[in-house]
Amino acid sequence: MPLFSTERAQPWLGTIVSIRSDGPRDATSAAFEEIALVHRLMSFHDPASDVSRLNREGHVRPVTVHPYTREVLDWALRIAAASGGCFDISIGRELVEWGLLPHPEGPGAEPDGTWRDIELQADGSVFLHCPLWIDLGGIAKGYAVDRAMGRLLAQGAERAVVNAGGDIRVHGLTEPIRLSVETGADTMPMLELTNGSVASSSGHLQRREIQGMTCGPHVHGIRRKPAPTDRFVCVLAGKCMVADALTKVVMAEGNKAAGILDEFGASAYVHDPAEGWNHLNCIKVANA
């Protein structure tokens, strides 16, 4: 008997999203619709997305956004506050400057603007105190995974795995997940995950020299410089969105990020060429 009735994959959010579930076929279709919606709302590239509208007009007048966008912004600001700005969704400015994102239409981003200039207003709209280039690339994939899983369970699935390019949420089973890190050892690190989420980041695959700096795909939100590129980070959390966002904090801060992980009920495995493997905030999460 097959463990799962369907497994499908579609291209979304700049990666390949796969969904396996024992639910009805319609549930998988509905889950992909959720992912497509998050893609449309939060794309940096699409001029019609909520993010592009904010980057164009958010400093002129409050912009009404979809409740999903609002929820992601709310979490992004919470994680920014907890990490003292190490996670900052206004890093679109640096990513454009380094050629990792295309130059958007509209005004340039304020050189000193940060997440603190984003105001979520009581009526649900969003106002920017100065022009910013918001990029939700560090959190939206995880959120899409959470939304998809929510839809699968609501439509009758009992066991499911949603994987958006390595941001993975598992429900109802134990799933082996290979961690893509080259440690030079003759072993393969594998995670066994039951009912939770994992997100991983490593800088070395996309490492390149830009403006005399070694740049990976991650930005240290406070220093506004590339995060270290030789680290591998894997964050475990209940919500995939939280795991996704916190990989950037651990990537930038390494072992110093343990306190922030604790605040969000998360833990992390970190591999550093100099220090080897480290497990941050392991005990509390194991007992949760």
Partner 1 sequence: MKARLIFIPLAGIAIAGGPAYATVYLSVEQAQQIMFPGASFTPDNRTLTEDQVKAIEKMSGVPVRNKQLKVWRVSTGGWFIVDEVVGKHEYIPFALGIDAQGKVKDVEILEYREAYGDQIRNPEWRKQFVGQGPGTKLQLGKNIRNISGATLSSRHITDGVERLLATYAVVLH
Q: Are 222 and 165 in contact (CB under 8 A)?
A: no
Please give the residues from 176 up to 195 whose contact with partner 1 meets the rule CB under 8 A: 176-182, 185-195
Tell me the per-residue interface mask from 109 to 148 with partner 1, x by CB under 8 A, - otherwise: ----------------------------------------
Q: Which is nearer to partner 1, 107 or 165 (CB)?
A: 165
166 binds partner 1 (CB under 8 A): yes
Q: Are 121 and 77 in contact (CB under 8 A)?
A: no
Q: Which of 5, 18, 125, 214 binds partner 1 (CB under 8 A)?
A: 18
Angle between helix 25-42 and 67-82 (nearest 10): 70
Q: Are 264 and 288 in contact (CB under 8 A)?
A: no
Q: What is the DSSP letter of 90?
A: G
Contact segment (CB under 8 A) with partner 1 among 57-65, 82-90, 233-241, 255-263 equals 233-241
To partner 1, the closest distance from the beta carbon of 72 in angstroms equals 20
Contact segment (CB under 8 A) with partner 1 among 6-14, 59-67, 125-133, 250-258 equals 6-14
Report d(CA 152, CA 22) in Å as an integer. Answer: 9
Query: For residue 170, what are the contacts with CB-CB under 8 A and spacing of at least 6?
Result: 160, 161, 193, 194, 195, 196, 197
Q: Are 267 and 261 in contact (CB under 8 A)?
A: yes
Residues that bind partner 1 (CB under 8 A): 7-16, 18, 20, 25, 29, 161, 163, 165-168, 174-182, 185-202, 205-206, 232, 234, 236-238, 267, 269, 277, 279, 285-286, 288
